[in-house]
Each structure stands twice: as C-alpha cells, then as structure tokens.
Chain A
Amino acid sequence: MVKAASNKITKIKQQFPILQQEVNGKPLVYLDNAATSQKPQSVIDAITNYYTKYNSNIHRGAHYLAEQATIEYENARTKAKEFINAESDMLVNFTKGTTEGINLVAQSFGNTFLEEGDEILLSAMAHHSNLVPWQIIAEQKKCNIKYIPVLEDGTLDMDAFHLLLNKKTKVVSLGYISNALGTINPVEEIIEASHTFGAAVLLDAAQAAPHLKIDVQKLDVDFLAFSGHKMYGPTGIGILYGKEKWLTEMQPYQGGGEMIKEVTLKGTTYNELPFKFEAGTPNICGGIALGAAIDFMNEVGHDFIQKQENEVLAYGTEALSNIKNLHIKGQAKNKAGVLSFIIKDIHPYDIGVLLDKMGIAIRTGHHCCQPLMDAWEIPGTARASLAVYNTKEDIDRLVEGIEKAKIMLQ
C-alpha cells in the first residue's frame, strides 16, 4: 500500500520536467509551492498546442481557428465550474489571478453596494492582496475596516469575530487557507454567521485550490477567487466565482471589448454574465492551460493529493520540531501544506540563501503578510510549502540543510 503510493509519487514527479534538474550541483528540492507550483507536461503541452495549432481571438471570429479557440476556452470555463461545483458557467469569470478577482469584487461590489459608515471585516493574517483593495474602496466610500485578530497558534480569534460582526458589516473577506501559516480557517462558521447579518463573504482560495476540494454551493460562499499558477497551471490566469444575485447587480469593473452588448456614442449596454466582467481580449492560452491543470488534479485525485500532502506535512512538522531552537509558526490543528518557521538568533534570509546553495528552494520574508509579522514582532519567517510531488526525502534534505546552515551561522 505504502509502496503503491510512493510509486505513484514517482510517476507524478516524472511529469514535471523542471524537477528533474540540478541546482547548484544538487538535485532540486522545490518547497516554494505556496508562491507558485511547478507545471506538469500536460499543462506545458496545452500551451504549446494552443500556439502551434489554433491561436486566434475568441467569441467573434467566423473562421475555423477562432471557433476551435473559443470551444477550448469555454471548455476550460466548464472545467473550472465543475472544479468548484458552481451552479453555472456564467458565474465563473476568468481573471488575471486571485488579486484581480479581489480587486474586481472590492471595486464592483463596493461601488454598487457599499455606503458611508458600512464596515468591512478582514483578517489580520490576510495576504496584502486581500487587504489593500479593501483599503482603497473603504477610502473611496468612507467605510470602516475591522480586523479579526490572530491567536498565537496562528488561528483566527473566532470569539472576536462574532463580536465584530454586526448590522453594519457588509463584506467579510478572508483567506480560505493562510499563505503564511497554512491555517485552514473555519470558513463554514464564518459564512453562516456573516449571512445572518446580511454580509457577503469573499474567500481568497489561492492556497486552498491546490489542496482542498472546493464546493462553493456547499460553502454557500458569495465570492471565491483563486489563481491558476498555484495549482499547476500558468501565471496570469485565475477564476472569480460570484453568486448570481450579486454579479447581475454589480457594475462592471473595467470597460472595453468582450464586455459589451451594444455601444453607441450615447452609452453602452453590457454583455451578459460572465462576459460583463471580462473586458478586453482575455488570456486565452492561460485559460485553456488552466483547464489542463484542472484535468491533472482530477486525474491525480483530490483524495490522493490531500492524503499525500498531509503525510509529508506531519512528517515535516515532527522532523522540524526536533531541530533545536527552531520554532514552527502556525500550529493550527487544521492546516495545509505549509511549514513556516523561525530559528532563534538566525535571520530567515540567511537560512534561505544557504539552503538555495544546497539546491533547496524555500521562501523567506514576510510572505505579503506584514501586519501579521509585525504583530508577532518578527522580521519574517522561512517557509517550506508543499505540493503533491513533495516527498519525505525532500523533508530529509530540508532538515539536513537547516542543520548545516545552523552550524555555519552560529
């Protein structure tokens, strides 16, 4: 049984050409998947195929190539719809990525529904991309932002959340999984409570999409945004899901081609969903390649991905805990794929540089969560983050590397 799993991992890993190389003379161990994951051959092939066989603009051309491209692009939308179990294709908008999705909601929802004095509820562990767009709209509409505090173990202070929630709360926006800590937030509880006050909930699912099976209907979430590049797809493409009742009312975010039905010099009628929010020629190739990435994940299977990552995470948590003076940041019980740590008297940057020289790629810094790092009074952490192709051997290399770096730095 164990053997079968490890065979499967070997086969999966072989599908990633980039992982077959040496860096600084050592076989590459890639542990920076929360920043971006690597891409399997099938995704790379989808990109090559598009440009070698049927590149053309979509939704308008009357010729063969345009028809092919349109079919493939819209197929990818259907795959994304199924990936998150949305009610309909028209609620699935292609975006540049999670950041654009959040900006779209902040501006479009904000301009349509927010009024002076309304409150926006965010989390203190939010990624900057789920913070700044709200700060911008809050200033424009004179709204107030409240923050759900984070407890020492890296979980949200849910008591505080329930106290902060009130009739003035119009939007609650937070990460499904924290990118810096890996904490899986209790989103069901948050969504249910928010809805009793009539507040809409946006989930930043950038870190969740590669690890969990997402079901927007079961979650009853209002908006959900994620990026292709963290789930084995290319950069520059993402998905924003929204409930129909919001998307039909919301004013468009950007104007241009694709999003219009009729344009006269007097005014414009907007196209129907989902095109209303997709101004300009989209990232056609990216959309199609995202479809291929979803195929890849479906083939490997969500159950297998979760089981494999959890096993390696548990192994890694124990192995790192045994390193003297190392402290793992974010020790929530419910956690996905992230080992964020600090070592006493050693700056995370120094660890990162030396690991790199040993062929081990991790991320160091504040992970775009400066307020959280400030609250903990640390300059940042070193972060190893997992994907399905990571193994216990990768963790062994990491531990060995940390021990070696520690000796050099102390």
Chain B
Amino acid sequence: MNTIADIQKQIVEDFALFEGDAMGQYEYIIDLGKELPSLDEQYKTDDNIVKGCQSTVWLHAFEEDGKVRFFADSNTVITKGIIALLVNILDNQTPTNIKDAELTFIDNINLRSHLSSQRSNGLNAMIKQMKLYALGFESKINENENAMKNEIKETVKVEELTANEIKGNGNSVVSDVSDVSDIDDKIVVKETVGDEMKSPAQIEMMVTEKIKEVFDPEIPVNIYELGLIYEIQVYPPLNNVFVKMTVTAPNCPVADSLPIEVRDKVKELNEVGEVDVELTFDPPWDKEMMSEEAKLELGFF
C-alpha cells in the first residue's frame, strides 16, 4: 500500500513536469477532476456538503476494515481536480494516519498560488472535514475495541462466578439455572423500561446532545466541545437536571445570557423536570478544556 508520503511525493513529481506552465498544470488538475468517479446522487445530500467552499463540494466517507474511504464530487471540474488530489492521498488510509497527515504537497506544488483566497479557504475546509471524519472513525474504532474488551471481561466474570458456585455448592446446577434465568429477566425488564423511561445516564446523554446545540456567538464550536460544561447531574425520578458551567472569560458579554440559553435548551426535552444552571469560574476555563474536535475546528492542531 502506498503511504501518504509516497503519494504526495508522486504528485509533486508529476507537477514538476509543468514547472512554469500554468495552463499545463490546470490541464493536469482538470484531467484529475474528470477521472475522479462521480459521487452517487444519493450521497449528494446537504449533510455531505463541505461548508466554506465557494463551489459546491460533497464529501462522503465511511470506515472499512479500519481504513477511511473517501468519495467526493464537485459541480466545477477544477475544484473536483483539487479534491481528487486530496482523495488520492487520504483515501484508504487509517484514521490515525489521516489525522496526523502533513499535507506538504500543497506548498510543494505551490497549489495556493493558483487559488483565490476564497478557494484557499475552501481547500482548508475540505482538509478539515476529512480530518474530522478520520477523528470520528478513530474514536469509533477505539470505542468498539474497548467494548469488545469489556464484553470479554464480563464473560470472564460470569464464568468465574459460576465456577465458584459450582465449587462451593452441591446444588450448583439448579441454582445456576435460576441465576441465569434471573439475569435474562433483568435484561428483559431493562429493555422494556428503556422504551418508556430513560435511565439517568440516558437522560444525561440527551441533555449533552441538547447542550451541543448552544454556541458561543463568536466561536464556531458548540459550548460542550468548547469545554464550558463542568458538570451534568440528573436526579431521578423527576429527572431534575443540574448543570454547572463556565464561560471563556468573566467579562464575556454572554456570561448572563448563555446559562439561560442552556437552561431553555435543556428544558425542551420532555423527559426532564426542573433545570438548574449554575455559572462558575472555579476553575477558570482554559484552552486545554476543549475537545480534540474543537481544537481541530479552531485550528489549534
């Protein structure tokens, strides 16, 4: 398999053939654009549009055997050619490699000199979106691995338990059976409850998702990712919610309105009772509190 570095090297060599010949370079980019397969219409959705590009760009990504697959399209051929460069480099690589990729070819082929500043921003948006996908798939893969590990641990535990019981009790077989049926019952009960009544953990997740809809007006990242939320508590049975949060600076102009916005957002959930939001500056907010996504979004990487 070709590494990201290899493919970039190849592109730089190809472009070197057109040194000083702008039209030749464009012809090359246009050819790449024509060669890149069109994206299936079903993936040309608003969700897949890369924001920040002047011409419409769609990016569709999924994970396959631990690699990220990218498929992209644009309504202009030249933009599509530039996307093709990125797709050729980053498609079918591991999420970690994509996330960490340094796209040196852009400077080496002097790509930005061909692009207007708006196009250049579009190129940045495209790269950011691809890296965000990689980040998402990376954490998904990690989660799966952890879940698998946990599952194995659980199995081991049950086995140990059964073994102990078998050891210590002559009626082990009977009691084992009843134990097992008990567990099954509990699972069944939990599932039915899940439909009607959410657990505090589930409510907490819903609250989190709601809070993610709130933005600091000056920062294009939601306040949860920004690390402004210090604590979320859900108190059953009424599911009253307590949120402890901060703002980026004590003199922040939205210090008064943001907690109210958070409260109102959370209240939109039918499942919650009273909502109490407390504003704190202890500890004060720090850049390090941002999630990886937020840092990426704001260009801290």
Binary A-proximity of B30-57 (CB < 8 A = 1, otherwise 0): 1000000000000000000000001110
Establish whether residues B26 and A349, one from each chain, have CB atoms under 8 Å apart when the complex forms. Answer: no
A265 at the interface (CB under 8 A from B): no
Q: Which residues of A contact B76 (CB under 8 A)?
A: 347, 349-350
Q: Which residues of B contact A350 (CB under 8 A)?
A: 30, 76-78
Q: CA–CA, A281 to B188, complex, Å?
A: 77
B92 at the interface (CB under 8 A from A): no
List A residues 353-410 near B (Cβ within 8 Å). Answer: 353-354, 357-358, 365, 379, 408-409
Establish whether residues B55 and A357, one from each chain, have CB atoms under 8 Å apart when the complex forms. Answer: no
Establish whether residues B55 and A347, one from each chain, have CB atoms under 8 Å apart when the complex forms. Answer: yes
Establish whether residues A408 and B30, one from each chain, have CB atoms under 8 Å apart when the complex forms. Answer: yes
Most chain B Cβ neighbours within 10 Å, of A24, A346, A365, A409? A409
B23 at the interface (CB under 8 A from A): yes
Establish whether residues A349 and B22, one from each chain, have CB atoms under 8 Å apart when the complex forms. Answer: no
List B residues 267-290 near A (Cβ within 8 Å). Answer: none
Q: CA–CA, A347 to B81, complex, Å?
A: 13
Establish whether residues B75 and A408, one from each chain, have CB atoms under 8 Å apart when the complex forms. Answer: no
Q: CA–CA, A346 to B56, complex, Å?
A: 14
Q: Which residues of B contact A379 (CB under 8 A)?
A: 55-56, 75
Establish whether residues B55 and A408, one from each chain, have CB atoms under 8 Å apart when the complex forms. Answer: no
Q: Chain A interface: which size bin?
A: 10 to 19
B264 at the interface (CB under 8 A from A): no
Q: CA–CA, A176 to B22, complex, Å?
A: 40
Q: Chain B interface: which size bin?
A: 10 to 19
With known contacts A408-B27, A408-B30, A409-B30, A347–B75 Cβ distance under 8 A: yes
B79 at the interface (CB under 8 A from A): yes
In the complex, how many residue pairs between chain A and chain B have their CB atoms under 8 Å apart?
A: 35
Q: CA–CA, A409 to B27, complex, Å?
A: 8
Establish whether residues B30 and A349, one from each chain, have CB atoms under 8 Å apart when the complex forms. Answer: no
Q: CA–CA, A116 to B76, complex, Å?
A: 45
Q: CA–CA, A409 to B33, complex, Å?
A: 10
Q: Which residues of A contact B114 (CB under 8 A)?
A: 353
Establish whether residues B78 and A357, one from each chain, have CB atoms under 8 Å apart when the complex forms. Answer: no
* Shortest distance between the CB of A39 and any CB in chain B (Å): 22
* Shortest distance between the CB of A33 and any CB in chain B (Å): 19
Establish whether residues B78 and A349, one from each chain, have CB atoms under 8 Å apart when the complex forms. Answer: yes
List B residues 135-177 near A (Cβ within 8 Å). Answer: none
Most chain A Cβ neighbours within 10 Å, of B22, B27, B77? B77
Q: Which one of B26, B54, B55, B56 contacts A354 once the chains associate, using CB atoms below 8 Å?
A: B26
Most chain B Cβ neighbours within 10 Å, of A353, A354, A409? A353
Binary B-proximity of A335-354 (CB < 8 A = 1, otherwise 0): 00000000000110110011
Interface residues of A (CB under 8 A from B): 24, 346-347, 349-350, 353-354, 357-358, 365, 379, 408-409
Which 7 A-B residue pairs are closest in the complex by CB-CB distance? A347-B76, A349-B76, A357-B22, A350-B78, A350-B76, A350-B77, A349-B55
New A-B contacts (16) at CB < 8 Å, excluding given A349-B78, A349-B79, A350-B30: A346-B77, A347-B75, A349-B55, A349-B76, A350-B77, A350-B78, A353-B26, A354-B23, A354-B26, A354-B78, A357-B23, A357-B26, A379-B56, A379-B75, A408-B27, A409-B77
> Can you list 28 A-B pairs with a CB-CB distance of less than 8 A?
A346-B77, A347-B55, A347-B77, A349-B54, A349-B55, A349-B76, A349-B78, A349-B79, A350-B76, A350-B77, A353-B26, A353-B78, A353-B114, A354-B23, A354-B26, A354-B78, A357-B22, A357-B23, A358-B23, A365-B54, A379-B55, A379-B56, A379-B75, A408-B23, A408-B26, A408-B30, A409-B30, A409-B77
